[in-house]
Amino acid sequence: MTLTEAEAIPPPVLALGHFVLLSSLSGIGIGLAKIGLALHGLSLNASALELGLIAGAQTMGLLLASLPCGLLIERFGPLRLYLIGSLLAALLCQALAGLQQALPLMLMSLLLGLCMPCRLVALNAVFMQQLAFLKPSQTGWLRGAQLIGILLIGPPLAASLFAAFGAAGSWPVIGLVFACPMLLAWKVLPGQSAQSPGAEALSLAALQRQLGLLRQEPELRANGLLDFCVQASAQFFSFFIVAITVQDLGWSAHQAACLITVHGLAFILALFFLGRLLADFPQISRPACLLLNLVALLILGLTDNAALVWLSAVLLGISLGLLQVVTLSRYAEHGRHLGHGRIAGLAVLIGPSGSLAGCLLGAALGGVIGLQPLFLFFVPVFAVFALHGLRPMLPTRFVFRRVLDE
């Protein structure tokens, strides 16, 4: 069975509920590991630098393994990669329980990050292939299910585990959370009885050719850039809005946490319930999403009014969720002729790279011009995308097309 043969995959309508459940369970594992590593570091009295390196090591591992996993899925199928990644992550969690120093924790964080793309790329590749059979309103369901686990279930569950059992007792439980979805994966993910057409052996040259797709395919490059910016702005909001509201606007920590939750819910609800708008009104809805995004960013960058901050957080969540649906559907279109495994690998590379860029932006310039004004940094970036979307109605549309395609 190959990822490029639509008929080889079981009817998605029948398996969709199980697939969404598998995605959510996989997201819970990611959320548990992310918060668990931070809590483990705090229990070791790690410095701020060490905590940053622990978190950064996991992201680095994810980035390093994303492209190789895309190639391996084309050769061996999504099920095998998902099972290997889950098993290795579960075993690493057992080893994490006994660590008592920050440096080994950084190394284990890197190794755990290397396991994540085996699961993420496998799920993304299969879902992209199945989008051809799904309703337009279901395009964002994979990402929405993952975020439910990563943002809404994983973090509070990790906090409860560490409060009750400490690091030594929590990591074996987290390992089980990584292992249990393997049972469901046998039912949901397709195996691979034959190598996908055009699949390559893992090599440096093959990885270079995979990255070269961004140079050869202007539409793929433009979509990747939009995805990068969506993830960068989303991560910037989630990471720095607490500091902005508490330090600059005088909010309580509880109010700031509630703001992040409401923003995340708006993002997830848009992924689950608003995707049909993009399919029914493509010429209007996509530029409208970008314009809505611009309004939210402008308010966040300029206002100190609490009501407007709440409103803009919701608008930003909705607009970014809808834009995520746009990027996912376009990735799927490219996957049909370039290989879903390869495109899924690129998507898993681009998304976290954008998130990392959002964090680095605040770290580099926040102390110079302040964190809140940096929301305005994203305004001209998304304005270019909005003008590109409106180009059929603009006499100078070729200018904006050239900006994105070069």
In DSSP notation, 167-232 reads HHHHHHHHHHHHHTHHHHHHHHS---SSPPTT---S-HHHHHHHHHHHHH-HHHHHHHHHHHHHHH
State the CATH number of the domain containing residue 183: 1.20.1250.20
Same domain, 158 and 292: no
Same domain, 265 and 365: yes
In-domain check, residue 198: no
Tens digit of each residue's pLDDT (9 = 90 or more) over 60-79:
888 898 888 888 887 888 99
Same domain, 219 and 368: yes
Same domain, 166 and 247: no
172-177 LR contacts (CB < 8 Å, sep 24+): 172/93, 172/94, 172/97, 174/29, 174/32, 174/33, 174/36, 174/93, 175/89, 175/90, 175/91, 175/92, 175/93, 175/94, 176/90, 177/25, 177/28, 177/29, 177/32
Average pLDDT over residues 338-350: 84
Among residues 193, 218, 247, the one where a domain terminates is: 193
Q: Which amino acid is at 262?
A: V
In-domain check, residue 74: yes
Contact 111, 92 (CB under 8 A): yes
In-domain check, residue 53: yes
In-domain check, residue 100: yes
Among residues 167, 193, 219, the one where a domain terminates is: 193
In-domain check, residue 202: no
Same domain, 188 and 71: yes
Same domain, 76 and 141: yes
Tens digit of each residue's pLDDT (9 = 90 or more) over 121-170:
899 888 888 877 777 778 888 889 988 988 888 888 988 898 899 989 99
Around Cβ 201, how many Cβ atoms within 10 Å?
A: 9
Helix axes 378-389, 218-243, angle to 10 degrees: 140
Same domain, 10 and 110: yes
In-domain check, residue 205: no
In-domain check, residue 204: no
pLDDT value for 194: 46
The least confident of 29-33, 266-270, 399-403 is 399-403
Same domain, 240 and 365: yes
Among residues 159, 193, 227, the one where a domain terminates is: 193
The least confident of 104-113, 279-288, 335-344, 373-382 is 279-288
* Joined tokens for residue 314: 């919701």
* pTM, to two decimals: 0.80
245 vs 51: CA distance, rounded Å: 23
Band of the pLDDT at 403, cuts 50, 70, 90?
very low
* Joined tokens for residue 241: 């809005």
Contacts of 374 (CB under 8 A, 6+ apart): 236, 240, 301, 361, 362, 365, 366
Split into its structural domains, the chain has a count of: 2
In-domain check, residue 382: yes
Domain ranges, residue 32: 6-193
Q: Name the average pLDDT for the chain.
A: 84
Is the pLDDT score of 32 beyond 60?
A: yes
Same domain, 222 and 261: yes
Q: Does 341 or 225 have the greater pLDDT score?
A: 225
pLDDT value for 390: 62
Contact 297, 379 (CB under 8 A): yes
